[in-house]
Structure 1
Amino acid sequence: MEEFVTAAVFSYPHEITILKHLLEEAGIRFVFRNETMASVAPMYSFALGGIRLMVHPNDLDTVKQILNNFENNSSLTIV
């Protein structure tokens, strides 16, 4: 995991629910750093710098494309 890089940062655990599925479906290796702490104590998320999506550098372009599609596709948003 030391070679993984931050692809995105989120504030709340509910923001990553659908994204996890999309990344798994694409076969991307990923980890969400600080996810557990943000789930247990949501206000700690800000103090820890948010929930960080960590991916391998080789997958970064694909992940950026998935994130872009996710943000622009209104049918996938969580309200």
Structure 2
Amino acid sequence: MKGFKTIAVFNYQHETVVLKHLLEQEEIPFYFENETTLSVVPFYATALGGIKLKVHTTDFERVQSIIDNLNSPLRIV
């Protein structure tokens, strides 16, 4: 898709589930390249370069912020 850029790469489909939910909740257009192929044949992950999260360049910073928040340690108040 034109104007979309890879922001993250995952090796397994289960790593994308929470992120997919958050992006849908924020109504950010995205797609995962190779997701279907690797759900059928997970051993191709290395050969295909993993599951690539593609987002539009206008949403790149918002998505990067969401990913950074997921990678930060859990804080319990």
TM-score (norm 1): 0.89
The RMSD of aligned alpha carbons is 1.3
Q: Which runs of 4+ in 1 moved over 3 A?
A: none
SS in 2 for 1:28: coil
Deviation readout 1:8-66 (Å, 9 max, x if unpaired): 00000000011100001111100000000110011111100110000000000000000
Consecutive unaligned residues in structure 1, runs of 5 or more:
none
Residue 24 of structure 2 corresponds to: 24
Q: Where do 1:1-79 residues align within 5 Å? A: 1-74=1-74
**Structure 1 CA distance, aligned partners of 2:23 and 2:7?**
12
**Structure 1 CA distance, aligned partners of 2:50 and 2:33?**
8
TM-score (norm 2): 0.91
Question: How far apart are residue 73 of structure 1 and its match?
Answer: 4.5
Which protein has the larger Cα radius of gyration, Structure 1 or Structure 2?
Answer: 2
State, as a whole percentage, how many aligned pairs show the same letter: 49
**Structure 2 CA distance, aligned partners of 1:66 and 1:10?**
15
Question: How far apart are residue 3 of structure 1 and its match?
Answer: 1.5
